[in-house]
Amino acid sequence: MGEGESAEVGAAVVMPNHVHLVVRPSGKESLETYLQRRKRHSAREINRLCVRGGSLWQEESFDRIVRDADHLWRCLQYIGRNPRKAGLPDHEFTRWVHPVWVEKGWSFIDDEL
């Protein structure tokens, strides 16, 4: 993490009705605080772009503590497969893995998407 960053995002999958993140908060901010801040900022931007207002995200989030490298790999593959499991065409989702992770061999198995 760079100076002043509150979290490191290792991977993300953005789908029409939800988002998956693999994120590691810094010691400065709790996961709950980080997610609240990200939700607030993204809701404001999405509402601005869609010329609308009101709630966007659910209050609750589902989170999981990743205990080791094997668990991290399984989580990465789970979120990477999620759009296909939902039957989404390519243009309805975005998948991203941090370039440093990719350099180290951490990516989605089905990178042909």
For residue 77, the Cα-to-chain-centroid distance in whole angstroms is 13
> Where are the chain's structural domains?
7-103
pLDDT tens, residue order, the chain (113 aa): 444 567 889 999 999 989 999 998 887 788 888 888 888 998 999 999 999 988 888 888 888 889 999 999 999 999 999 999 999 999 999 999 999 999 999 999 875 44
d(CA 58, CA 79): 19
Where does residue 40 fall: left (phi above 0), alpha (psi -120 to 50 degrees), or beta otherwise?
alpha
Q: What is the pLDDT of residue 90?
A: 92
Q: What is the pLDDT of residue 20?
A: 93
Residue 86: strand, helix, or coil: coil
d(CA 62, CA 65): 10
